[in-house]
Amino acid sequence: MSISSKLKERCGDVCELCNNEPPKHDYTVSPKNDESVQNQVALCDTCLNSLDKKDAGFHWRCVEGSIWNPEPSVQALSYRILQLHKEEEWANNLISSVDLDENIIQWAMTAFEVADVHKDAFGNVLENGDNVVLTQALNVKGTNFTASKGTVVKKIKLVHDNPEHIEGKINDQTIVILTKFVKKG
């Protein structure tokens, strides 16, 4: 894989993270997915391979340099790497001492966002208005009845800010039900 001449010129023909090896890859920092050079970082083989490794902590000390790169894409990727290693003291110290633009931090953190998807016990995606069946008996809090396994709950409502919760009516009472205890009907 080769990198574009624009990117090559920007990076001065060295990897923009480690500043050490020749760049071989134009890495697009997610969630951007176009080939614009401002969304890319020129990476060497070592850095590209280390991105997938959990134990690459030592290699990533190079981020102490790349975090100060003027390019937003390099800052975002460097900050993302720091977050992955934030339990290590050096990374934690660096996170608290850099002063990055809010947009760049947001860009970096998109990699850690969990999609707000409600799923039943079997991984089926749930939507507002679905009918579900209880996969086990539930004690309904605040009442003295137990909803038996197999109870059908019609027209559920997804709890917006919690993908593990839905709301539904049992015995005419609206209750919160954990998604792991239901099956899409």
> Contact residues for Zn ion (CB under 5 A)?
15, 17-18, 21, 44, 47
d(CA 17, CA 27): 11
Q: Which of 41, 33, 78, 36 is nearest to 60 (CA)?
A: 78
As measured in angstroms, the least distance from the Cβ of 10 to Zn ion is: 15
As measured in angstroms, the least distance from the Cβ of 11 to Zn ion is: 10
d(CA 32, CA 46): 22
Tell me whether residue 24 or residue 157 sits nearer to Zn ion (CB atom): 24
d(CA 88, CA 94): 10
Amino acid 25 reads H
Tell me whether residue 21 or residue 88 sits nearer to Zn ion (CB atom): 21
Tell me whether residue 53 or residue 169 sits nearer to Zn ion (CB atom): 53
As measured in angstroms, the least distance from the Cβ of 47 to Zn ion is: 3
